Amino acid sequence: MIDYRQLQAFATVLECQSFDKAAQRLHLTQSAVSQRVKQLEERIGQLLIVRSQPLHPTPAGQQLLRHFHQIKLLQSELLDGLGDAYEQGFTRLSIGLNADSLETWFMEAIDPLLQQSPLLLDLRVDDQDQTHHFLRQGEVIGCISSSDQPIQGGSCVALGLTRYRALISTEFRDRYFAKGVDTESLLRAPAVVFNQRDELQDRYLKTYFDFEGDYFRHLVPSSNAFVELIARGHGWGMVPDQQSQALLEQQRLVELIPGNCIDVPLYWHSWNLSTDTGRRLTEVMMAYCRAHLLPLSDTD
């Protein structure tokens, strides 16, 4: 049998990214926390935490972490059921998602769930192709991903499509595309890219210009600042329709080539846990996305 105090110490160190802060949170000394993690490692017979910055779990550590989060969710529902809600306080809900979903629609989608239950959100952001690893490592109970491949022991449902258009300001159009948009003019004009993992601009160039390779790019890892840099006339970039609507109506932004867009499918992945919170989370996400995102069959 695993000692759950050891498991909690281990999970808290990873969550806080520090033995010291974990000790503070657990009201223990730092050496007690180190001791518990070490005992757990001896019990399992493997190293569980790689002690370099950032602290991260080994493959064995990932399995334990996943187990711990599943146990916690089941336990908090048990206590809720026993009328122990006050003492228990809040249930932690760890979710992995992409920055654009978080910026544009996620808060509105999840609001009904927050209204009903005392929940604490723990949101982890990465590119939509990368959120899977949060789920695999057991850091989250569900994630929004562009992949439709369920992970082992998990389920996957379709949420809908996010449509991205290449947008520019009218000054930028006059400056770089006075004679029209072709590969040559486009490769002279700088793009705006969220970070090195953002491949939407690559996909646009590949889809509509059959171009693969390097191009001038700003790197701006903030959805707001990304759109602001475009609106100020310093680049072109892929913006989701949910974010651009008002700016397009005010003509602060225009489409690079009207009608050309890149659709990103979004899926909801979660562990196959029959917990109330997990089930309701999936329900509110699906209900919201059915009403507000484009249906997935549109791309067929």
Q: Which residues bind a copy of itself (CB under 8 A)?
A: 15-17, 21, 24-25, 89-90, 99, 102-103, 106-107, 111, 114, 120-125, 190, 196-197, 213-214, 216-225, 228-229, 232, 234
Name the residue nearer to a copy of itself (CB basis): 47 or 225.
225
Closest approach, Cβ 113 to a copy of itself, in A, equals 10
Name the residue nearer to a copy of itself (CB basis): 187 or 296.
187
Closest approach, Cβ 131 to a copy of itself, in A, equals 13
Name the residue nearer to a copy of itself (CB basis): 106 or 288.
106
The set of residues, in sequence order, having a beta carbon less than 8 Å from that of 85 and lying 6+ positions away, is: 79, 118
Q: What is the chain's percent helix, strand, coil content, to nearest 5?
A: 50, 20, 30
DSSP string, 213-275: S---EEE---HHHHHHHHHTTS-BEEEEHHHHHHHHHTTSSEESSTT-EEEEEEEEEEE----
Q: What is the DSSP letter of 71?
A: H
Work out the burial of residue 244: count CB atoms within 10 Å of its CB; fewer than 13 is exposed, 13-18 middle, 19 or more buried. buried
Closest approach, Cβ 298 to a copy of itself, in A, equals 26
Closest approach, Cβ 17 to a copy of itself, in A, equals 5
Q: How many CA atoms lie within 13 A of 110 on its CB side?
A: 23
Name the residue nearer to a copy of itself (CB basis): 41 or 103.
103
Closest approach, Cβ 149 to a copy of itself, in A, equals 20
Name the residue nearer to a copy of itself (CB basis): 166 or 231.
231
Report how far apart, in Å, the C-alpha atoms of 262 and of each of 115, 199, 265 are. Answer: 34, 11, 10
